[in-house]
Amino acid sequence: MSAADGSPVPAGSAPGGAPEQQVQQLLALNQASVAITGELEVESLLQLIVDVARTLVGCRYAALGVLGEDGYIARFPTSGLSPHEQEQIGAPPRGHGLLEVMLRAGRTLRIPDIRLDPRRIGFPPHHPPMTSLLGVPIWIGGRLVGDLYLSDKIGRAEFGEEDEWIVQLLATHAATALTKAQLHAENVEVLARVRRERAGLQALYRVTQAINRAVDLQEVIALVTQAAVDLLDVAGAAVHLLEHPTAPDLPTDSTGAAHFVARYASGLAEPVTTEAAQLPMDRSLAGRAVQTGITQVVQDTAQEPDTVFPVLAGKPLRSLVAVPLVASGQTLGVLSAYADRPDAFDAEAVQLLEAFGAAASTAIHNAELYEEARLGRAAAEREQERLREIEHMKDEFLSTAAHELRTPLTTIRISAGLAHEQMLLQTEVAMPGAGFDPRLVHLVGLVVESSERMQALVNDLLDLTRLEHGRTSLHMESLDLREVVRASVDATRPLFEARDQPLAAHLPEAYCGVRGDRPRLEQVVINLLSNASKYSPPGAPVEVRIVRAGAACCVTVRDHGPGVPPEEREQIFERFYRSSHHRNDRTASTGLGLPIARRIAEMHRGRVGVELAPGGGSIFTLALPFAG
């Protein structure tokens, strides 16, 4: 007969014996069952089963042979043997001889005297002598899990049918209790795993947040390595970064061997390095991880000593894991962890480190970008500062040079002017052929002309540097812009007359109020008018107007000259810039008139600009805030 799951069960009614005795036995069995089904720890349960079986049937010894995966006895709890006897017997049996016979039979066996049984192979030395034997199998879900062995029935020569029956019943309860205990053990394990995973994820989350808040690369790497050590509870961790993040084209050194650089390591007795150090790519686990892009694990370095970095050789490292750090499609390096015990990195630990590695990669990548940007910014700022210094030195030099040149230039101009005048006078009154050599007179004339130009240049230069450095103050007053224009027209009229250029001023009837420094504003308009004359052909007309444009009052000067090419319309306001139209002509010029004009306009919260006039020529405009 067999149960639904295929395991043999004790047959129907209890075999012989006094009813009262049977009731006592059943009560004892019931108590034993309650006890064993209440035990959830597998080891304690196995021991309990053996103990209650021995008490229940009244025998000297009991044992439980639990089968392992290989079909042999893996565990062998006993009852009735003193610790000393157990120690003397030594290693538990694996299941040969009679025990094997019983296991392979898969059913209950009673042997009156094992000493006489031909199938026995004998006891190990120091084993107490045993006589009668009862073997009862334990089945769970159609699978034989082990045998209960009882020996040396007390008070009788051998085990009887009623012993067999009661132990078989106990075996079915034991099977139930074992199933329950196994489920319990599995539950405990699952629960522990879930707890571990949750703790791991929480730690991961906290660490990732901390890492993402850090922007300094060294700080990020220190956090990453320390967190890896804490998360996995291991001996050490390191981050190795490639000098040039990329894969699989790895940088090679002069010997042709690929290398990369360890930026930080922590958790080991002493850090591997906190400074960049070259490490061999070919003979390391980290190198393999970079080259394959796949996490590498060595469960026992004793088996694969080559995988340990030379710098780490000799340290108590038994297992290693290396996770490639990848961000934005680039391999940045490797995150490695080291344990001082073998098999420290199971699938769970690897998974955790990979998840952590992904977060760490992003943080490292961001920190690198930040560092690059910071260095770039710092370099740009340094460069700007350098340019400012150079500019300042140049200004200082120009201003000092101009200042120093002014007095000797005045002397040269006045002296040469006087000499030239005298030469001309004497040549006029002298007898023909007795005056100065005309070539000499011409040369002295050139000296006068050039010294005048140089003086104009020096004056403009001094003027501009003073304006730019705020060394000139304006005398602001309310004035009529029409008066400024009229005065400027009067001042420049000789220029226009000399070149036959008709100058027309179109001024409004009404007062054009602005606040400004009259001589300075006249200086600007005079510059625009003289440029209009200078850069227009003889006979070409020039018009000056005053127009209102929104909140501004504008003076416009329109000429019929060559105009200014669009790409040069800003540049002509820079110092010494000459438009490409005039770079090679001989027009007297300092290249400082317009920069001075713009600076003066800006000091009035106004502006000077140029645009192309319809039909050709330029329109220069001085725009000033209208003051009613």
| Closer CB to ligand ADP, 240 or 598, in the complex | 598
Q: Does 590 bind ligand ADP (CB under 6 A)?
A: yes
Q: Does 229 bind ligand ADP (CB under 6 A)?
A: no
Please state the separation of Cα 36 from the chain's center in Å: 58
Specify the stretch interacting with ligand ADP by CB under 6 A; choose among 219-227, 257-265, 355-363, 555-563. Answer: 555-563
| Closer CB to ligand ADP, 309 or 620, in the complex | 620
C-alpha R_g of the chain: 54
Contact at 8 Å (CB) between 344 and 353?
Answer: no
> What 3-state DSSP class applies to 382?
helix
Specify the stretch interacting with ligand ADP by CB under 6 A; choose among 156-164, 297-305, 352-360, 560-568. Answer: 560-568
Q: Does 621 bind ligand ADP (CB under 6 A)?
A: no
| Closer CB to ligand ADP, 114 or 564, in the complex | 564
Q: Does 531 bind ligand ADP (CB under 6 A)?
A: yes
| Closer CB to ligand ADP, 7 or 531, in the complex | 531
Q: Can you say whether the dihedral through the CA atoms of 452, 457, 463, 466 is positive or negative?
A: negative
| Closer CB to ligand ADP, 46 or 464, in the complex | 464
**Least Å from the CB of residue 588 to ligand ADP:** 7
What is 347-371 written as a DSSP string?
A: HHHHHHHHHHHHHHHHHHHHHHHHH
Q: How far apart are CA 621 and CA 610, in angstroms?
A: 6
Contact at 8 Å (CB) between 35 and 29?
Answer: no
Q: Are strands 259-266 and 278-280 parallel, antiparallel or unpaired?
A: antiparallel
**Least Å from the CB of residue 495 to ligand ADP:** 13
| Closer CB to ligand ADP, 203 or 398, in the complex | 398
**Least Å from the CB of residue 459 to ligand ADP:** 12
From 561, 598, 621, 622, residue interacting with ligand ADP (rule: CB under 6 A): 561
Q: How far apart are CA 261 and CA 268, in angstroms?
A: 18
Contact at 8 Å (CB) between 478 and 511?
Answer: no
Q: Does 589 bind ligand ADP (CB under 6 A)?
A: yes
Spatial CB neighbours of 166, under 8 Å, sequence gap ≥ 6: 25, 29, 56, 57
Beta bridge pairs of residue 135:
109, 149
Q: Does 525 bind ligand ADP (CB under 6 A)?
A: no
Q: Does 569 bind ligand ADP (CB under 6 A)?
A: no
Q: How far apart are CA 405 and CA 454, in angstroms?
A: 9
From 552, 582, 607, 626, residue interacting with ligand ADP (rule: CB under 6 A): 582
Q: Does 135 bind ligand ADP (CB under 6 A)?
A: no
From 57, 593, 600, 601, residue interacting with ligand ADP (rule: CB under 6 A): 593
From 283, 406, 515, 578, residue interacting with ligand ADP (rule: CB under 6 A): 578
**Least Å from the CB of residue 387 to ligand ADP:** 23
Question: Which residue matches tokens 């094997």?
Answer: 100
From 532, 608, 619, 623, residue interacting with ligand ADP (rule: CB under 6 A): 532
**Least Å from the CB of residue 550 to ligand ADP:** 25
Beta bridge pairs of residue 239:
264, 335
The tokens for 89 are 């017997």
Q: Does 535 bind ligand ADP (CB under 6 A)?
A: yes
Q: How far apart are CA 36 and CA 598, in angstroms?
A: 104
| Closer CB to ligand ADP, 51 or 559, in the complex | 559
Query: With contacts defined by CB under 6 A, how many residues of the chain interact with ligand ADP?
Result: 20
One-letter amino acid at 431 equals M
Q: Does 92 bind ligand ADP (CB under 6 A)?
A: no
| Closer CB to ligand ADP, 98 or 564, in the complex | 564
Q: Does 208 bind ligand ADP (CB under 6 A)?
A: no
Please state the separation of Cα 589 from the chain's center in Å: 57
| Closer CB to ligand ADP, 219 or 611, in the complex | 611
Q: Does 559 bind ligand ADP (CB under 6 A)?
A: yes
Please state the separation of Cα 592 from the chain's center in Å: 51
Q: Does 361 bind ligand ADP (CB under 6 A)?
A: no
One-letter amino acid at 174 equals A
| Closer CB to ligand ADP, 325 or 485, in the complex | 485
Other CB atoms within 10 Å distance of the CB of residue 444: 20
Q: Does 608 bind ligand ADP (CB under 6 A)?
A: no
One-letter amino acid at 319 equals S
Q: Does 459 bind ligand ADP (CB under 6 A)?
A: no
Q: Does 492 bind ligand ADP (CB under 6 A)?
A: no
* ∠ Cα 133 136 141 (to 5°): 165
The tokens for 266 are 């922590």
Q: Closest by alpha carbon to 225, among 260, 275, 196, 268?
A: 268
**Least Å from the CB of residue 618 to ligand ADP:** 5
Q: How far apart are CA 177 and CA 43, in angstroms?
A: 12
Q: Could you tell me where the beta strands, DSSP code E, fall in 401-481?
A: 477-480
**Least Å from the CB of residue 590 to ligand ADP:** 4
Residue of minimal Cβ distance to ligand ADP? 593
Beta bridge pairs of residue 334:
240, 324
**Least Å from the CB of residue 594 to ligand ADP:** 3
8-state DSSP, 252: B
Q: Does 546 bind ligand ADP (CB under 6 A)?
A: no
One-letter amino acid at 576 equals F
| Closer CB to ligand ADP, 319 or 523, in the complex | 523
Site residues (CB under 6 A) for ligand ADP, limited to 375-414: none
> What 3-state DSSP class applies to 308?
coil
Q: Where are the alpha helices (DSSP H) in 263-346?
A: 285-292
**Least Å from the CB of residue 406 to ligand ADP:** 19
Q: Which residues bind ligand ADP (CB under 6 A)?
A: 527, 531-532, 535, 559, 561-562, 564, 572, 577-579, 582, 589-594, 618
